[in-house]
Amino acid sequence: MAEHILQNVVLLNGQRSDIYMDQGKIIAVRSCGTSDHKHIATFTRITDGKGGLVMPAFAESHIHLDTVLTAGQPAWNTSGTLSEGIAIWSERKQQLTREDIRDRAMKVIRQLIAHGVLFIRSHADISDPNMTALQTLLELKEELAEIVTLQVIAFPQNGIIACPGNRERMEEALRLGADGVGAIPHGEKTREHGIASLEICFELAQKANCFVHVFCDETDDPESRFLEWTAVLAMETGLRNKVTASHCCASAYYNEPYFQKVLSLILSSGIHIVVCPLINSSMQGRFDSYPKGRGIARIQDMLRAGIPVAIAHDDLLTPFYSYGDGNLLQAVHMAAHLAHMTGRNDVLPLLDAITEHAAEALGLTEGYGVTEGCHASLVVLPVTDPADAIRLRPKPLYVLCKGEVLAHTPAVETAFNHESITG
């Protein structure tokens, strides 16, 4: 018997449906109005989806919950560059406390949930000798486990080779329960140091059999080519689909023969790509004369090649990016423009980038979706057409976690008060 029915919703394929849920899972999806009496009992609760578009709950595949809501502290990033952002954050993180991180992270997690996000991968800067951010986020991971899947990646913001002690802190982070380790090879002092940092990262991950999440080629330099190394090391270590490369901005500037080689390596390795269009569209190209670079990886070409590309929000009101509200549809909207993906056939691949592909990057494919047997963690948007989800970027009417309504935002309506426009 269904304990909860989500009635009158529209699937991505346009089918109007009722979704039957029990014990946190979807037990049936039926055409709207065709009552399945064997699944209905007198105690069954019914939620009216009001004809809204239903999708699996969104997955945020790259965010920094330790840096959120710190923009302007102690200074604003006037150049808009990555290097100034790192310098400001290096000063701000000297003041970190568990209470500070927890309060800011919780505010943003609430924003993410309100926008339909229930699966989050956060990076925690472990360049701080006390690893305050990592330990606080691990505590939140445990505390919120019933409603949010939170993965924590040990991220060496100041580099692995360039920052003495970061290798040991990454090892300690894994002992404490981190879900994976990261690297920032383009931030190391030399190309050779960048490669060495990747080798250390993969060595630690191979021993722990954990995720690898590389901040890869976040630069306008076409000679920054750590993406190929990430793919090769994923194959050599056998970690393959446990590996994610974020940003990959330099790939936009690669010559075509080399880019095709990199595409082949990515496909062979099985690694995931995450693009962060909000921050990279504003941060990249700062040193260019005109024409300025777009700052975005070649999403369309990667998707056409069969590479699962995820789209992430990344920073939210930080020294690196001073905007953002946790709405992944904003990131999708920006990506649609930067990647020239404004055609009708681009709509579903773009939405896949914050659902299926993002969930795959987090290793959450089992039970993810809107079919029988999947977890009943869903979003219902106040639109019917999938394109309107990207065009209007609304908050969900409902966010369901394991079959229970976790958040509800009534649809916004404007009241007009002049007779010429009230018809």
pLDDT (0 to 100) of residue 254 = 97
**Stronger pLDDT, 42 or 403, i.e. the higher one:** 403
DSSP state, residue 362: T
Work out the average pLDDT over 201-221: 98
pLDDT band, residue 15 (cuts 50/70/90): very high
Cite the beta strand spans of 149-247 per DSSP E: 149-155, 180-183, 211-216, 243-247
pLDDT digits (tens, 9 = 90+) for 325-338: 999 999 999 999 99
- CA pseudo-torsion sign 311, 109, 104, 143: negative
pLDDT band, residue 151 (cuts 50/70/90): very high
Task: Give the C-alpha separation, 94 to 217, whole Å.
Answer: 27
pLDDT digits (tens, 9 = 90+) for 285-332: 998 889 888 889 999 999 999 999 999 999 999 999 999 999 999 999
In terms of Cβ atoms closer than 10 Å to its own Cβ (0-12, 13-18, 19+), residue 123 is: buried
Take residue 213 and report the two structure tokens written for it.
Answer: 């999440």
Task: Give the C-alpha separation, 20 to 30, whole Å.
Answer: 8
If you average pLDDT over every residue of the chain, what do you get?
Answer: 96
Task: Give the C-alpha separation, 131 to 156, whole Å.
Answer: 11
Residue 38 has pLDDT above 90, yes or no: no
Task: Give the C-alpha separation, 318 to 90, whole Å.
Answer: 12
pTM confidence score: 0.96
Cis preceding-peptide flag for 291 (omega within 30 of 0):
yes
pLDDT band, residue 42 (cuts 50/70/90): low
Give alpha helix (H) positions in 131-190: 132-143, 166-176
In terms of Cβ atoms closer than 10 Å to its own Cβ (0-12, 13-18, 19+), residue 223 is: exposed
pLDDT (0 to 100) of residue 365 = 86
Task: Give the C-alpha separation, 163 to 381, whole Å.
Answer: 45
pLDDT band, residue 39 (cuts 50/70/90): low
Tell me how many helices (H) and strands (E) the chain has: 13, 15
Work out the average pLDDT over 268-282: 98
Task: Give the C-alpha separation, 249 to 295, whole Å.
Answer: 6
pLDDT (0 to 100) of residue 423 = 61
pLDDT band, residue 35 (cuts 50/70/90): low
pLDDT (0 to 100) of residue 44 = 84
pLDDT digits (tens, 9 = 90+) for 339-357: 999 999 999 999 999 999 9
Residue 283 has pLDDT above 70, yes or no: yes
pLDDT (0 to 100) of residue 33 = 76
pLDDT band, residue 155 (cuts 50/70/90): very high
Question: Catalytic residues, which ones?
Answer: 218
Work out the average pLDDT over 225-236: 99
pLDDT digits (tens, 9 = 90+) for 2-13: 899 999 999 999
- Asked if residue 196 lies in contact with residue 203, where contact means CB atoms within 8 angstroms, the answer is no
Residue with tokens 């981190």: 178
Percent of the chain exceeding pLDDT 70 equals 97
